[in-house]
Amino acid sequence: MQTLSLIHRIGIAILLGTVESLLLVGCSRSPTPSLQSAGGPEPARATFNVAADLVNPNPGYVGIDACARCHDARCAEFHSTRHFLAAVEPTADRMPPGFAEEPEVLSSPYWRDQYQLLRSGEVFSETVLRGASNPPRPGATDPPTKTNSTPKESPTFPIALVYGSGGKGDEVFFTWQGDELFELPLGWLHPTGAWAKQDYTDVGDAILRTATPRCLECHTTFFQHVLGTENEYRRQSILPGVTCERCHGPGAEHVAWHSAHPDAMEAQAIIRPATLPRDRQIDVCGQCHSNVIHHRGPLFGYQPGQPLEEHFRTLIATGIEKDHVTDQPKYLRQSRCYQASESLTCTTCHSPHQAEDAAAVANACITCHTSGDCTAQPRLPLNVVNACVDCHMPRTSRVAVKFHGQGEQFEFPVRPHDHRIAVHPAASLEVERDGLLALGDEPSRARADELTVQLVALWLAEGSRLQDNHRYLAAVGAYRDGRRATAGDAALELALNACISRMAGIENGYLEGMRQMNEGRNDQAVRTLKALLDVVPTAAHVHAKLGTAYELVGQHDKAVEHWKRVEECDPDTAYGHNMIGWTAFLGGRIDEALAAYAQADRLFPHTAEIHYRWGLALLRSNDQAAAEKHFREAIAVSPRHAGAFQGLSHSLRGRGAAEEAVAAAQLAAEETGFKNVDVLMSLADAQASADRPDDADKTLRRAIELARLHAPQMLPMLEQRRTEIRRPQPTAPERGR
């Protein structure tokens, strides 16, 4: 009966907007003594196996300085590698140009705001000039737009961390706001030597993007994350850069053993990746270089030597635009070279300890191949007969990493090698053409011109093919690769600009739909998002939000139709299943909700909100044990999840664990500052079940005080419950009559 009451109250909360913590992760607060007394003594988080400090434990990472005590030469050469520089603190010798005491204003017709880059001594900062006018877009006839009618304040953000310092692609910057880490909007593009804005969504007044744990996990050796938060960390715990222990495993035990046995020559308590089976060797690299995005368990749960798939779900990623990273292991495994070899791994070409040597990479080919193996060699100029990598592993635009520059949109600064070792027609033509041009004689130039015409035709055909499949971002990348290879052919330029305009229209239309939903103009949002699907019918994110817009205007069947399309268009997105589950739950279709949450968990495992909602649906079906399991899963991921503690209290009470139910409800109340009416009612119910009527009465009185101010529609329910609790209970003999 009490479970049904909880579900009923959740429905009221959603419809009337009166309950804040049932759908969201509650923030930790320190309740005042007077409020805390309403719930009795503070229960220990240990009751639910939740660490008191709410962070992931350090399994033994000690940092590169500890390694250098014995391996100083190896560590010294490692300092020049891209892995070591994956995340560094800003210093004058590492920062790109443009930072000054009196910086210039940076603007672009493709940016919402303007920016300044400030240097004061050794402190580097990025200032966002809100509401300033940017120059008009090329060809625009309307005046420059302003983001706001009146300028807002211009916040300045000190740079605390740099990704990609001294690299060949992009360099991006991070700032601390308290203990939360954020990514700054402006980045430096090494290929163009210019500043550009990162292409993340501009909805509302948000300036910064949260630095999520999975992002940070691939640019550092270790850090402690405040569990249940998007981007709160223990600053002093961060070991920046990808150093020794990410490949060899945590080193504390190794350091301790060899400190106690200084004369020992055989390495103890450490992983040597070269001794692992080939798949496990590639997994060591794959923890950051493959599409393993969704954790199946705790942060830093993976250790070298273990199967990576046991700790992460790998994205299916049906196109390069959906590759979260370049995913070299996936494409390498597709190669005939890999399939025909039993020993080819990442380290066949790459040294993990030294800066990359292009000649060494190229020479790796001849360990298995001879010049006679290449059927193209007879027609190639002698100056390119050894350009194996350029021909069979060409560089391509990584379109998933995109910026808007001062002169162009959709710039792709990262151009990694394609690790699908194969015959790439465009690369073969380009290598031969470039070799002929280097010869300089007239017959060679004439043949090179013929090959350029073929290159243009090939890239135009590839871009057209991608557009026909509604893969417009990938098409922009193809046209850009073609433009780079053919020195700005007019036909490619025209096709590129047309595709960029289409992409910009798609992005702007989506942002407008989001603004309309944020402002409650859901009918308009339906029209806007529906029109977008005429252009790009396979856009999963548009189907997702259009489904939500339809739900908000009361067209549930249409909403479900679009939510079902989400996974069809993007098999890595759980949004559609999650929303189908939630609306089914609210509509009392519990079997449908349970099936949807199982599908959502398959795509997005180890997610607090999915397990929380799954637990609510199981509560509704009176499966207390299963509900308890999912609430505990949610709490393991997010120990500050007030709703999960509240749900856990109900499931514990349902199976007769009264005191544990009180402890769980107490934690839910603490996480909401003892200011949430519904949570307080759950606490009172738990206290009453534990034969603590006085505590329950105090809690209900507090809930009634709050309800008078914020949720008057709940007063009758609260008063009735208080009357029931204060009513004298029958004695044991009377109960047996």
pLDDT score, position 361: 80
Query: In this structure, what are the phi and psi dihedrals at residue 295, rounded to the nearest 5 degrees?
Result: -65, 145
Residues in the chain: 737
CA distance readout (Å), 298 to 77, 637, 638 = 32, 7, 11
Q: How confident is the model at residue 377 (pLDDT cuts 50, 70, 90)?
A: confident
Rounded Cα distance between 294 and 310, Å, is 11
Domain ranges across the chain: 2-53+573-735, 315-503
Q: How far apart are the first and last CA of the chain?
A: 23
Q: Report how far residue 531's alpha carbon sits from residue 528's, in angstroms, rounded to the nearest whole number.
A: 5
Residue with token string 């200032």: 127
Q: pLDDT value at position 200?
A: 75
The DSSP string of 567-632 is HHH-TT--HHHHHHHHHHHHTT-HHHHHHHHHHHHHHS-S-HHHHHHHHHHHHHTT-HHHHHHHHH
Confidence check: pLDDT of 465 > 50: yes
Question: Phi-psi region for residue 619, left (φ > 0), alpha (ψ -120 to 50) or beta?
Answer: alpha
State how far the alpha carbon of 326 is from the alpha carbons of 286, 319, 396, in Å. Answer: 11, 11, 10
According to DSSP, residue 205 is labeled: T
Strands of the sheet containing 123-129, edge to edge, are 114-120, 123-129, 156-158
Distance CA 277, CA 279 (A): 6
The pLDDT of residue 729: 58
Q: In the prediction, which pLDDT does 477 show? A: 97
* Predicted structure pTM score: 0.90
Distance between CA 644 and CA 611 in Å, rounded? 9
For residue 8, the model assigns a pLDDT of 43
* 3-class DSSP assignment, residue 107: coil
Output the pLDDT for position 39: 39
- Helices and strands (H and E) in the chain: how many: 29, 14
CA 626 – CA 530 distance, rounded (Å): 39
Residue 228 CA to residue 28 CA, distance in Å, equals: 10
| Contact between residue 18 and residue 710 where contact means Cβ atoms under 8 Å apart | yes
d(CA 656, CA 423): 67
Question: What pLDDT, on the 0 to 100 scale, is given for residue 343?
Answer: 93
Amino acid occupying residue 342? E
Residue-level pLDDT at 203: 65
Residues 6+ apart with CB under 8 A from 279: 307
Which of 1-10, 41-50, 295-304, 371-380 is most confident?
295-304
CB 257 within 8 A of CB 269: yes
User: Which residue spans within 10-134 are E strands per DSSP?
Assistant: 114-120, 123-129
Rounded percentage of the chain residues whose pLDDT exceeds 90: 80
pLDDT of residue 38: 37
Amino acid 731: pLDDT: 53
d(CA 159, CA 403): 19
Query: What is the per-residue pLDDT for 291?
Result: 96
Residue 547 pLDDT level (bands cut at 50, 70, 90): very high
Closest CA to 109 of 500, 532, 518, 516: 500
SS3 of 640-656: the string is CCHHHHHHHHHHHHHCC
Instruction: Give the pLDDT confidence score for residue 647 in this predicted structure.
Output: 97
Amino acid at 283: D
Q: What share of the chain is helix, strand, coil (3-state, %, to 5)?
A: 50, 10, 40
Distances (CA, A) of 315 to 96, 295, 399: 34, 11, 17
The string of pLDDT tens digits covering residues 383-423 is 998 899 999 999 999 999 999 999 999 999 999 999 999 99
Q: Which helix (H) or strand (E) holds 224?
A: strand 220-225
Q: Which of 72-86, 204-218, 579-593, 596-610 has the lowest mean pLDDT?
A: 204-218
Which tops the pLDDT comparison, 165 or 103? 103
Dihedral angle computed from the Cα positions of residues 448, 454, 456 and 461, in that order, rounded to the nearest 10 degrees: -170
CATH 3.40.50.620 fits 2-53+573-735, yes or no: no
Q: Rounded to an integer, what distance in angstroms lies between the CA atom of residue 276 and that of residue 285?
A: 12
DSSP of 676-692: -HHHHHHHHHHHHHTT-
Q: Which of 662, 654, 679, 669 is nearest to 4 (CA)?
A: 654
Query: Measured in whole angstroms, how far is the alpha carbon of residue 374 from the centre of its chain?
Result: 42
pLDDT at residue 36, as a whole number? 39
Report pLDDT digits (tens) over 28-78. Answer: 333 333 333 333 444 557 778 787 789 999 999 999 999 999 999 999 999
Task: Quote the distance between the C-alpha of residue 396 and its chain's center.
Answer: 23
Determine how β-strand 161-163 pairs with β-strand 156-158: unpaired
Q: Lowest-pLDDT range, 135-149, 279-293, 564-578?
A: 135-149
Q: Which residue has the higher pLDDT, 145 or 652?
A: 652
Decide if 581 contacts 600 (C-beta within 8 A): yes
Q: What tens digit of pLDDT does each residue of 302-351 get?
A: 999 999 999 999 999 999 999 999 999 999 999 999 999 999 999 999 99
For residue 582, what are its two tokens? 């939630």
> How many other C-beta atoms can be found within 10 angstroms of the C-beta atom of residue 539?
22
Is-contact 197 215, C-beta < 8 A? no
d(CA 472, CA 476): 6
Dihedral pair phi/psi, residue 238, rounded to 5° = -75, 125
- pLDDT band for 620, please (50, 70, 90 cuts): very high
Phi, psi of 346 (to 5 degrees): -60, -40
Q: What angle do CA 466, 467, 471 make, to 5 degrees?
A: 65
Q: Which two tokens stand for residue 558?
A: 């249409």
By the 8 A CB rule, do 528 and 520 touch? no
Looking at the DSSP bridge assignments, the partners of residue 55 are: 226
Residue 104: other Cβ atoms inside 10 A: 10
**Residue 137 pLDDT greater than 80, yes or no:** no
